[in-house]
Amino acid sequence: MVALAVLAIIIAVGLPQMSVFFKGGRMVTIPNDLLAGLHIARSEAIKRNGRVTMCKSADAGATTPICATGNATDWDNGWFVFVESSGTILKVNTGVESNKVTINADAAVADSVTFTSRGTPNQSGVFKICYDGDVSSARGVVLNASGRVRVTRDALIIGGCT
C-alpha cells in the first residue's frame, strides 16, 4: 500500500513535467532541422558551383516533392533541398509531428531560399518556430545576407507567436 502511495505521488508530480520535457525537445530539434537544411543548401551550392534551393512543400515525403507557395505557415508541413540544375533532392524533412508547432517565415523567405554558387542567399529572413502560441519558448532561425544561419531566442528578432 505504501509503495502504491509513493508511486501515485511520483506520477502525480512527474507526469506534468513530462510535457515540458517533450516541448523542450521539440523546440530544440525543429530549429536545428531547419538550420541543417539551410547549411546543406549553402554548402552544396558552393561545392557544386550552382544554385541550390530549400523550399517548403505540402507533401515533402512524396516521391517527387513540389515546392509550395502561399501560406507562410506551410513550413511546418515539410521542406526539401534540391539542386536547381539537375533537380537532385539532397535533403527532405517531412514536417513537424505536433499540431501545436507552427513555423512562420518572413515574407522574404515565405516560400523558399536559394543559395548562389558563392553561398549567398537570394534573400535573408527569419523563420519563427512557436509551440502552441507560447512566445516564451519560441525560437528563430535567422538567415543573414551573407548566408550565415543561426538559432536565436531573442524575442525582439522573433516577434510574437500567433
- pLDDT for 22 equals 55
Residue 87 lies in a domain: yes
Give strand pairing partners of 136: none
Number of domains in the chain: 1
CATH code for position 41 = 3.55.40.10
Q: Rounded CA gap, 155 and 14, in Å?
A: 30
Give which of 60, 75, 155, 78 is closest to 110, Cα–Cα: 75
Asked if residue 91 belongs to a domain, the reply is yes
Phi-psi region for residue 137, left (φ > 0), alpha (ψ -120 to 50) or beta? Answer: alpha
Q: Can you give the pLDDT of all 162 residues of the chain as single tens digits?
A: 778 777 667 666 655 655 554 545 556 788 999 999 999 999 999 999 999 999 998 888 888 889 988 765 579 889 999 999 999 999 999 888 777 888 888 888 999 999 999 999 999 999 999 888 788 889 999 999 999 999 999 988 888 886
Say how many CA atoms lie within 13 Å of 7 toward its Cβ: 4
Q: Return the pLDDT at 21.
A: 47
Please indicate, yes or no, if residue 9 is contained in any of the structural domains. Answer: no
Query: Which pLDDT score is estimated for 7?
Result: 67
Give the per-residue pLDDT at 17. 57
Which pTM value belongs to this model? Answer: 0.82
* pLDDT value for 77: 87
Of the candidates 47, 35, 50, 53, the one whose C-alpha atom is nearest the C-alpha of residue 113 is 53
SS3 assignment for the chain: CHHHHHHHHHHHHHHHHHHHHHHHHHHHHHHHHHHHHHHHHHHHHHHHCCCEEEEECCCCCCCCCCCCCCCCCEHHHCEEEEECCCCCEEEEECCCCCCCEEEEECHHHCCEEEECCCCCECCCEEEEEEECCEEEEEEEEEECCCCCEEEECCHHHHCCCC
Q: What are phi and psi of 111, to 5 degrees?
A: -115, -40
Asked whether residue 2 is domain-assigned, the answer is no
Q: What is the residue range of 62's domain?
A: 21-158
In a domain, 133, yes or no: yes
- Is residue 117 in some structural domain? yes
Kindly list the distances between the CA atom of residue 88 and the CA atoms of 14, 58, 91, in Å, as whole numbers in the listed order. Answer: 46, 18, 9
pLDDT at 85: 95
pLDDT, position 60: 81
